[in-house]
Amino acid sequence: MPVYEIAATVGISETSRFCRVFKELTGLTPGNYRLEARSKVGAQYRSHAETTMLSSGKVG
């Protein structure tokens, strides 16, 4: 979902204001927050896939 849609969803009409408030609250810009969240989800997915493959005997 684009940042302007998230801003509108929470009732902020100006994307720049949303970005400023978001950074004040989280310490990250919305874009950097998204990158961090994606990398964490990717790491969890990779970990789960590796565990599944190891327990099935397909790796090793």
Threshold 0.75, pTM exceeds: no
Tell me the pLDDT of the chain averaged across its residues: 85
Q: How far apart are CA 13 and CA 4, in angstroms?
A: 8
- List, for residues 26-55, the tens digit of each pLDDT value: 999 999 999 998 888 777 766 666 666 666
Q: Where are the domains of the chain?
A: 3-56
Asked whether the predicted pLDDT for residue 4 surpasses 60, the reply is yes
List, as own/partner pairs, every contact residues 13-21 make where C-beta atoms lie below 8 angstroms and the sequence separation is at least 24, other chains included: none
Q: What is the pLDDT of residue 60?
A: 47
